[in-house]
Amino acid sequence: MISGTGITKTYRQRGNVLGGRDVRALRGVDFSIPKGGAVSFIGESGCGKTTLGRIIAGLETYESGEIVIDGTPMSSLRPKRREAEFRKIQLIHQDPYSALNPTRTIHQTLEAPLALRARRTGRPSSWVDDRAEELLSLVGIDPGYVLGRYPHQLSGGMRQRVVIARALTVDPEMLVADESVSMIDVSMRLSVLALLKDLRERLGVSVLFITHDIATARYIGDEGELYVLYRGQVVERGLTESVISGPVHPYTQSLLSAIPVLHGLERPGRERVVPTEALDERHADSGCLFARRCPFRTERCTAELPELMRVEEPPIGGLAPLPEAPGAAPHEHACFHPVRRSVIPEEAA
């Protein structure tokens, strides 16, 4: 289990000739990713998803808050032990062209981390080759075909699978896939998604998926949880299905309203929400961060910052909430005027 509380991150812009301001990338984010779980972070460009993913993978510093891995707070550990804990979380580089060393064969690429692991765990050196073959088979490629080849001799899809196999060499507990920084094409994207789903089921590894595409989040996390980020704050979270079928925060509703309609088969949701203006980082930092763009804002919204709170029962607005399974993540939102709206495309009559 990997969790975080109150994570904040500011990128300082000292000496910026353009007179830029510090960027508050994360403003006190809490999250919890259960063992074997599927969690997606979504939000538009600049909301802080990549920063959060990199912090969770131990690749970025943060000013305040705490990351806890399997019950151990990371701030309590010395750097070497902390590094070892963060190794349980592997970021999958989504650009398969630059993620692999072009001068090394696939065998060499996998051999280095496996040999280190064999030494640490007292395994015989023959284990290294066996495990390399096993991992390649696990990600769906023929070891005999790829082991002696260099990255440029493989297709993009194969390279992507090798990258995932390399992440698996350390037996991680969690894979972090940041799609927002990826340059992979649609067909490759789908096969990576399917592979991650499969690995989650077969190995029990948890998957954190970072994307701006809500449909992708729905596919990867159909049994998992969805976190919607806006300007460094979680504005809504809960079971993916619950958030997608009954969003209560106007920002989530605006993301869902933008899902394209299948012409002739669907019609737009009846209560689609369109922000009143474009995202602007210079918008005020006081009150609700979405207030300036929200069609439903009131005076309270521009004066006070709403904290995450549980979606109330009985239903708010016209739509009934999904029943919550015992022990399931509660559906929460940060809005003073939560109303369920029918925003996703509906079947055409």
Ligand X SMILES: Nc1ncnc2c1ncn2[C@@H]1O[C@H](COP(=O)(O)OP(=O)(O)OP(=O)(O)O)[C@@H](O)[C@H]1O
Contacting positions for ligand X (CB under 6 A): 11, 23, 25, 43, 45-51, 180-181, 212
Q: What is the distance between the alpha carbons of residues 320 and 312, in angstroms, rounded to a whole number? A: 11
Q: Judged by CB, which is closer to ligand X: 25, or 259?
A: 25
Mapping DSSP to helix (H, G, I), strand (E, B) and coil, where does residue 85 land? Answer: helix
Q: How far is the CB of 275 from ligand X (least distance, A)?
A: 16
Q: Identify the sign of the CA torsion 65, 71, 77, 79.
A: negative
Q: What is the distance between the alpha carbons of residues 149 and 106, in angstroms, rounded to a whole number? A: 6
Which residue, 224, 214, 225, 207, is CA-closest to 180?
Answer: 214
Which residue, 45, 116, 129, 54, is CA-closest to 86?
Answer: 54
Q: Judged by CB, which is closer to ligand X: 58, or 151?
A: 58
Q: What is the distance between the alpha carbons of residues 100 and 87, in angstroms, rounded to a whole number? A: 18
Q: Judged by CB, which is closer to ligand X: 87, or 212?
A: 212
In this structure, the strands spanning 332-333 and 72-73 are: unpaired
Q: How far is the CB of 306 from ligand X (least distance, A)?
A: 21
Q: Judged by CB, which is closer to ligand X: 11, or 145?
A: 11
Do residues 226 and 212 make contact, with C-beta atoms less than 8 angstroms apart?
Answer: no
Q: How far is the CB of 150 from ligand X (least distance, A)?
A: 30
Q: Judged by CB, which is closer to ligand X: 12, or 270?
A: 12
Q: How far is the CB of 46 from ligand X (least distance, A)?
A: 4
Q: How far is the CB of 155 from ligand X (least distance, A)?
A: 26
